[in-house]
Chains A and B, each alone.
Chain A
Amino acid sequence: MTIDMSQFFQVFFDEAEEGLAEMEKLLLAVDVADPDDEDLNAIFRAAHSIKGGSATFGLTDITEVTHVLESLLDRIRQGQMALTSQHVDAFLAAKDIIKSMLDGHRHGATVDLEAVADVRMLLQSLSEGGGKKTAAPQALVGPGGVSRYRVELPQLGERETEALQQELGLLGKVEKLAAEGSLCVFVVDTAKGVDSIIEICSFLVSTDDLKVSQAVAAPSKEEQQGYGFFAPFVPQDATDEERGYGFFAPFVPANATDRERGYGFFEPFVPLGDTEQGKLQAAQAIAAQGAHADHDDASATGDHEKKKPAVAVHESSSIRVGIEKVDQLINLVGELVITQAMIEQRTGALDPMLYEHLLNSVSQLTRNTRDLQESVMSIRMMPMDYVFSRFPRMVRDLAAKLGKRVEFVTHGAATELDKGLIERIVDPLTHLVRNSIDHGIEVPEVRLTAGKADFGTLSLSAEHQGGNIIIEVTDDGGGLNRDKILAKAKQQGMAVSDSLSDNEVWLLIFEPGFSTAEQVTDVSGRGVGMDVVKRNILAMGGAVEIRSSKGFGTTISISLPLTLAILDGMSIRIGHEIYILPLGYVVESLQPATQDIKEISGQGQVIKVRGEYLPLIPLYQIFNIEPTFTDPSQGLVVILESNGKKAALFVDDLIGQQQIVVKNLESNYRKVAGISGATILGDGGVALIIDVAALLRSSRLMSDESVFS
């Protein structure tokens, strides 16, 4: 039976990437002086799972690097070494390298082999810098798929030894142990057989003088796989056992010292006169041991079996599904919601006395549908943390590179956004953050002169506001320089005048090719970017806004609609037409008294609501509808709020509140001013959803109908 390995590869790549991201996050958060054990363990686990996985899939280059990384981490974790910022840097570098190797395997991207070697060297030298206490157990570590061999040779000349070490290095990881008497001892980790080792050594020494032995039981097939699969579930306190046994370790109760000793009989080196047999023996022995344990200690076995699923359940708290499956599910639920609304509407006309049971069931169906819909929608939602978590590293590196001190703060990382949007917001945000550090925040000297703290603060925040998510990148740097932007704009031949308002000036930086950086750095300044940022955001149906104050910093505010398939809507009627208002914008609705409606000559009407004058938007005029009422005091007004702006929308009637499935108008038609989408009503008809934000944005220009034509 052949198994399509590619799907497993995909899973491994995904997992490895997650692991790396997690590792990076923890590394950045770790307090060097007083690292949290839990964090160190988590970092270790991440490295360990990647190692296990990569070994299972035969990606030995990754295994090697992670192995060194893991060993070093392990020693720090066990307190044999103090964590230093040097370590953290090395770990971060290793993370990058592993990422690049992963990409290399995954997309065929080129991998900088030199950098890989450098990182390995760095990690190795760091790990040698500490105590040698763990050297012995270390020697026994056999990452899954890779066997460890001990090669003993007669003492050779220094050059020859070096050459040999390099040659052996081609097979895998080589470690030269201190010479023991007249012997020169290497420990080789390789996936290749013992024959390859002998072949290499035979160039220098006769095979008779050569002694190659296997340092740890060669992984049997099961063990190899088991290693990969179970490694992530290893309880933290079981690492010692794990070293020795890979497969069994996770299920060894911490107090099983007797059995631990029993396992000891594998530890002595198995001489490899006949390699195959040696492996076989080892495999058999392991199997026998397993069987033995089962037989011997029934209660302990029961324990294993109980533990196994328990651990699995606990750890596999997420599953991977293709996004298209989720989308299909969402679409289906969308249809279900429409159908449910139809049933509700049709049963609404029935006599509640006669059809009590039916109506009860329908209301239960309504509840269930709603719950189902919420659960399904939440599948696609991801916290903004997914995006935010990539920035601390970038900020740190960039600030260091530019000689600036930046404190990075995030707010609202738990704010959820659709996965599709979250992925698309990463690039624009990255760009904005880079810009803020490069152009916004000043170097410490300048900041001190300006009377500010020497470290700048860069904050990323996300919050829901009605049907939108507002993402802001704020720095407390120098702010945008109006004169400079204007001068530059003129220089580039843009039609600008000095009388532009600040906001208009700020928007110039979104023009293609615009950059005020005096010199092009590799960070920014080429002038491509801000226009792309803006375009990306507009493409997502969002808007960008800049607030800047000279000397105090800049805030770039991105507002994205939660253009998600489903929203709570309020249906309103004007004449014979029904429109939907997204409920998020609706503050209240009321029937105004005649004396509260004031006319402002040429500007339309305003309405006084609790001492506040709000512009009155007569929807029937905007949409050219024949209304039932033209006097607001006869109809109703709905008070809407968006981005701090309020207005009163004059409608004929409120019909009700329901969940609606947002359908895109653009997919078959085009964007319509004042309309953000459409939905299907319970009767199968179509109702348009009013783009409240746009309506309010232009509410000042309401008398000018050209806005909507």
Chain B
Amino acid sequence: MSDNMSKNISGFGEKADSTGNEFLAFTLGKEEYGIDILKVQEIRGYEAVTRIANSPEFIKGVVNLRGIIVPIVDMRIKFQLGEPTYDQFTVVIILNISGRVVGMVVDSVSDVITLNPEQIKPAPEMGTTFDSDYLIGLGTLDERMLILVDIDKLMSSADMGLIEKLAA
């Protein structure tokens, strides 16, 4: 199995090589998204956050994750997808983006899927709510279509405002 996989990866091109080809699928509103599973640290329920004054609305605040302070971003607000409700079913995906830990609120997490290179199609220009810069492509699995997000790039981007521009 793993042998097969590595063969697949080898024909996968540079970009995919570095992102792997297992994806965590989650939903925002009616759309289904996928992110590189290796960026995911854990999945948790939503708990009370501490609001940060004067921060953008989609930054819900910070929580204590075993002693570290983790900001929580609500993707539903950021991309105006779905209804931002918070109940016991609300899911937070804790991501580890190059050493920084960030929580991302989504509607639900479905499963982990494996995509072969040929199952990943380039995203059309007009595309989705996401700036196509942040997209790896569109993954197809049977009848499902996943919008594959380069979560690294997205979370580090200026318009998320999560990481301060390096004031060198």
Contact = CB atoms under 8 A, between A and B. Distances in A.
Interface in A672-709: 672-675, 678, 680, 684-688, 708-709
Interface stretch (A495-503, A541-549, A661-669): A661-669
A688 B101 contact: no
A669 B62 contact: yes
A623 B50 CA distance: 12
A670 B50 contact: no
B52 A688 contact: yes
Interface centre among A338, A669, A670, A687 (most CB of B within 10 A): A669
B164 A668 contact: no
B53 A684 contact: no
B64 A669 contact: no
Contacts of B52: 669, 672, 675, 688
B53 A623 contact: yes
Interface in B64-117: 64, 67-71, 100-102
Contacts of B55: 672
B38 interface: no
A670 B62 CA distance: 11
A297 B17 CA distance: 79
B51 interface: yes
Interface residues of A, number: 30
Nearest to B163: A670
Nearest to A669: B71
Contacts of A687: 50
B163 A667 contact: no
A668 B50 contact: no
Contact of B50 (A667, A688, A708): A688
A669 B69 contact: yes
A665 B163 contact: no
B143 to A, nearest CB: 38
Contacts of A708: 53-54
B37 interface: no
A685 B64 CA distance: 6
Nearest to B103: A668
Contact of B164 (A335, A338, A625, A666): A666
B51 A577 contact: yes
Residue in A335, A623, A688 with the greatest tally of chain B CB atoms within 10 Å: A688
Nearest to B165: A670
Contacts of B161: 670
A679 to B, nearest CB: 9
Interface string A87-102: 0000000000000000
A612 B76 CA distance: 50
A105 B116 CA distance: 56
Given A669-B62, A670-B163, A685 B50 contact: yes
B63 interface: yes
Contact of B64 (A577, A622, A680, A688): A680
A671 interface: yes
Given A668-B71, A686-B62, A678 B50 contact: yes
B126 interface: no
A230 B17 CA distance: 60
B64 A684 contact: yes
Nearest to A539: B167
B162 interface: yes
A624 interface: yes
Contacts of A673: 54
B48 interface: yes
Interface string A122-138: 00000000000000000
Contact of A624 (B53, B71, B100): B53
Interface in B9-39: none
Interface string A606-632: 000000000000000011110000000
Contacts of A670: 161-164
Interface in B139-168: 161-164
Size range of the chain B interface in the assembly: 20 to 34
B69 A663 contact: yes
Most chain-B CB neighbours within 10 Å: which of A334, A338, A670? A670
A678 B62 contact: yes
Given A622-B53, A686-B62, A667 B48 contact: no
A668 B102 contact: yes
A672 B161 CA distance: 11
Nearest to A681: B64
Nearest to B100: A668
A678 B48 contact: no
Contacts of A672: 52-55
A231 B163 CA distance: 55
A668 B53 contact: no
B67 A335 contact: yes
Nearest to A680: B64
Max chain A C-beta neighbours (<10 A), residue from B48, B51, B70:
B51
B64 A686 contact: yes
A529 B63 CA distance: 40
Nearest to A622: B53
Contacts of B63: 686
A148 B63 CA distance: 70
Contacts of A338: 67
Contact of B54 (A334, A664, A684, A709): A709
Nearest to A576: B51
A641 to B, nearest CB: 23
Given A667-B100, A668-B101, A686-B62, A674 B53 contact: yes
A666 B48 CA distance: 20
Nearest to B97: A668
Given A338-B67, A671-B164, A686-B64, A625 B50 contact: no
A696 B102 CA distance: 31
A51 B161 CA distance: 57
B67 A624 contact: no
A44 B48 CA distance: 64
B6 to A, nearest CB: 33
Among B68, B102, B162, residue most surrounded by chain A Cβ atoms (within 10 Å): B68
B53 A625 contact: yes
Interface in A51-76: none
Contact of A664 (B53, B64, B69): B69
Given A670-B162, A671-B164, A684-B64, A665 B69 contact: yes
A116 B123 CA distance: 69
Given A622-B53, A686-B50, A680 B67 contact: yes
A668 B69 contact: yes
Contacts of A668: 68-71, 100-102
Contacts of B71: 668-669
A301 B54 CA distance: 76
Nearest to A334: B67
Interface-centre pick from B49, B51, B62, B70 (highest chain A CB count, 10 A) = B62
A672 B54 CA distance: 9
Contacts of B102: 668
A688 B163 CA distance: 18
B147 to A, nearest CB: 25
A675 B62 CA distance: 13
Contacts of A577: 50-51
A708 B55 CA distance: 10
B81 to A, nearest CB: 23
Contacts of B50: 577, 678, 685-688
User: Which 6 pairs across A and B sit closest by C-beta, in order of nearness?
Assistant: A623-B53, A670-B164, A686-B50, A669-B71, A663-B69, A678-B69
23 contacts: A334-B67, A335-B67, A338-B67, A577-B51, A623-B54, A663-B67, A663-B69, A667-B100, A668-B70, A668-B101, A669-B162, A670-B164, A671-B164, A673-B54, A675-B52, A675-B53, A680-B67, A684-B64, A685-B50, A686-B50, A686-B62, A686-B64, A686-B69
Given A624-B54, A670-B162, 14 more contacts: A338-B67, A622-B53, A667-B69, A668-B68, A668-B100, A669-B52, A669-B69, A669-B162, A671-B164, A680-B67, A685-B50, A687-B50, A688-B53, A709-B54
